[in-house]
Amino acid sequence: MSGDETNVTLSKKVSMAQMEPKTEAHQVLRLTTSNFDSYANGDQLVFVDFWAVWCPPCRAMEPVVERLAAKYSGKVVFGKLNTDEEPEISTRYDIMSIPTFMVFKNGRPLEATVGAVGEVALDRLIQKSMGGSALPR
């Protein structure tokens, strides 16, 4: 094989590898009544996806949350809380519609948004939370 043929072959392999999904999973935690407070009360930002199995918009946002978890790995903890299985926490934060996304730090909600708002809006929510403003309780 000539040098040019080798470069073309390598180039094709690289572009194929870029199209394959990454196998390294960025963990999105399953939050429950037993572990929610320990994460939310910490000094690291915690992004919480309030969702339910029967909710199509919640399912549509799942890959968005996973991409953001990869982007903010090591900077923000990502978790999902099933509102049907954990009604106590949903009630505590007045979750009336899902999906609802909230960012917590030191036990306080900093930012929140409701609905399948897309990746750009959630990224802005996280960025704003990194600035430190808090929602009134």
pLDDT tens column, 22-47: 434 568 999 999 999 999 999 999 99
On whether residue 98 sits in a domain, the answer given is: yes
On whether residue 6 sits in a domain, the answer given is: no
Distance CA 119, CA 127 (A): 12
On whether residue 136 sits in a domain, the answer given is: no
CATH number of the domain that residue 38 is part of: 3.40.30.10
Among the options 55, 64, 69, 89, which is catalytic? Answer: 55
The residue-averaged pLDDT of 110-117 equals: 96
pLDDT-based confidence at residue 131 (cuts at 50, 70, 90): confident
On whether residue 1 sits in a domain, the answer given is: no
> For residue range 41-91, what is the model confidence (pLDDT) as tens digits?
999 999 999 999 999 999 999 999 999 999 999 999 999 999 999 999 999
The residue-averaged pLDDT of 97-118 equals: 96
Distance CA 18, CA 29 (A): 27
Contact 48, 103 (CB under 8 A): yes
SS3 82: strand
On whether residue 79 sits in a domain, the answer given is: yes
Contact 97, 61 (CB under 8 A): no
> For residue range 86-107, what is the model confidence (pLDDT) as tens digits?
999 999 999 999 999 999 999 9
Is 90 exceeded by the pLDDT of residue 10? Answer: no
H or E segment to which residue 110 belongs: strand 108-114
On whether residue 137 sits in a domain, the answer given is: no
58 is catalytic: yes
Residue 70 structural domain: 25-130
Q: What is the pLDDT of residue 88?
A: 97
Among the options 28, 45, 58, 122, which is catalytic? Answer: 58
pTM: 0.78
The one-letter amino acid at 94: D
Distance CA 27, CA 66 (A): 8
On whether residue 62 sits in a domain, the answer given is: yes
Domain count, the chain: 1
On whether residue 116 sits in a domain, the answer given is: yes
Query: Which stretches of 79-118 are DSSP H helices?
Result: 87-92
